Amino acid sequence: MRTKGRELCYRSFHHFQKDETTLKRKTDFAVEVILDRKRARTPPVAVGKSDFFDGLPDDLIVCILCKLSSTAECPSDFINVLIACKRLNSLGLHPLVLSKASPKAFSVKAKNWSESSHRFLKQCADAGNIEACYTLGMIRFYCLQNRGNGASLMAKAAISSHAPALYSLAVIQFNGSGGTKNDKDLRAGVALCARAAFLGHIDAIRELGHCLQDGYGVRQNIAEGRRFLVQANARELASVLCSATSSSPSSRLWLTWQPQRYHHHQVTGAGCPLLSDFGCNVPAPEAHPASQFLAEWFALRGGVPGPGLRLCSHSGCGRPETRRHEFRRCSVCGAVNYCSRACQALDWKLRHKAECARIEQWFDGDMDGEEEIIGVEDEEEEEEEEEHATDES
């Protein structure tokens, strides 16, 4: 009986080993079928060739894309990489890459503005790109009339010591843009302008100089104001010298002595006499992409931002009025208006010096231009004086 029992045990163990071998064969067969299906889906690779791009780590590609986005000269330089393949598209939208993008990488033209470009700018701003915060803030504040969100984006850039954002907020405070004339805060405007001037912003230095000379929002100090104006001219000349070191001799005509008289409706030469008082014919500074977008945006709409509203007469500014008579006009001809004293001073040397004429002399013929920067009048203050005079009478 013991022998028979042992034989039964041996037989059952033998059957168990046989079943386990069969199950293992079935499992191996199923795995081979799955692998064959995966091989069928994978495109064949040429013999002797391997895809090295797939072997590159993501960190290295992100580092390369950061360098590309920070040096892009136009949006197509960066967009063409994003549409190359799925991997580049996903890594190109990495927050680190978007935070390093240069202003020219997202300087979209106003005629090409779309929801996708708006979304891309917002992605760059959310990634911490300060230039994108400023550009999108200017577009939303002035073009899309989303005042609160635009101002908050510019404030976000200003907190990070972005000089153009600080200066733009100063202009908003000076004019009370987006509100009423009672919303003007001259002291806040001077404080923001001083911070931007400390960071080397040329327009802010020039604006601060005029504020000190006129006692506008700050105690009058003519000598200190003139010092700031000279510093603005010196910085402007230094920037032109740095950008023209490798230019051809024909493009250096601005560094010449060109004494000339300005007449009404006289057209200036190729250069712009920004430093005409010092004998230099300096070309106009390149406008910021945000200012270029504003100018193009309102040019496509006939140059009229709204009923009864006007644009700043300085061609490199592009800011519109947010209410009637917000900007200050030329006190001599009354034909031009400016958002700031810096824009008025620049436009005077760029263009208006050759065109300005007193209203009563428009019909008397040409006149020689003034040899100093003309003043500007605040139309809102004139309206208040007229209303006060009417109430007294």
Whether 186 maps to a domain, the answer reads: no
Give the per-residue pLDDT at 316. Answer: 85
Q: How far apart are CA 349 and CA 207, in angstroms?
A: 15
Angle between helices 130-138 and 163-175 (to 10 degrees): 30
309 assigned to some structural domain: yes
The Cα–Cα gap between 28 and 336 comes to 86
**pLDDT at residue 372, rounded to an integer:** 39
> Bridge-partner residues for 275, per DSSP?
280
Evaluate whether residue 357 is within a structural domain. yes
Burial class (CB in 10 A: 0-12, 13-18, 19+), 109: middle
Cβ atoms of 136 and 153 within 8 Å: the answer is: yes
Is residue 135 included in any domain, yes or no? yes
In a domain, 2, yes or no: no
**pTM of the predicted structure, to 2 decimals:** 0.74
How far apart CA 70 and CA 63 sit, in angstroms, is 11
- Of the three residues 132, 159, 186, the one that is the final residue of a domain is 159
Helix (H, G, I), strand (E, B) or coil at 328: strand
Q: Is residue 44 part of a domain?
A: no
**CB count in 10 Å sphere of residue 93:** 15
Ordered strands of the 337-338 beta sheet: 337-338, 328-330, 376-378
Look up residue 300 and give its amino acid. L
End position of a domain, from candidates 159, 188, 210: 159
Residue that terminates a domain, selected from 159, 185, 200: 159
The two tokens of residue 113 are: 């503005």
Half-sphere exposure of 63 (CA within 13 A, CB side): 5
Say how far apart CA 310 and CA 317 lie, in whole Å: 13
Find the helix or strand (DSSP H, E) in which 330 lies.
strand 328-330
Q: How many domains does the chain have?
A: 2
Burial zone of 58 (CB within 10 Å; 0-12 exposed, 13-18 middle, 19+ buried): exposed
- pLDDT of 176 reads 92
In a domain, 233, yes or no: no
Q: Which residue type is seen at 38? A: K
Position 348 scores a pLDDT of 84
Reported as type and span, the H/E element at residue 169 is helix 163-175
Q: Write out the residue range of the structural domain in which residue 336 sits.
A: 289-392
Question: Strand 337-338 vs strand 328-330: parallel, antiparallel, or unpaired?
Answer: antiparallel
pLDDT per residue, tens digit, the chain (393 aa), is 455 554 444 455 455 455 556 655 656 656 565 656 555 554 554 545 556 778 888 899 999 999 999 998 888 888 888 888 888 889 989 999 999 999 888 888 899 899 999 999 999 999 999 999 999 999 999 999 999 999 999 999 999 999 999 999 999 999 999 988 899 999 999 999 999 999 999 999 999 999 999 999 999 999 999 999 999 988 888 887 776 655 555 445 545 444 444 343 333 444 444 454 444 556 667 788 899 999 999 999 888 888 889 999 988 899 999 999 899 888 888 888 999 988 888 888 888 888 887 655 544 544 443 333 445 556 555 555 544 444 544
Q: Which two tokens stand for residue 342?
A: 């810096």
Q: Is residue 165 part of a domain?
A: no
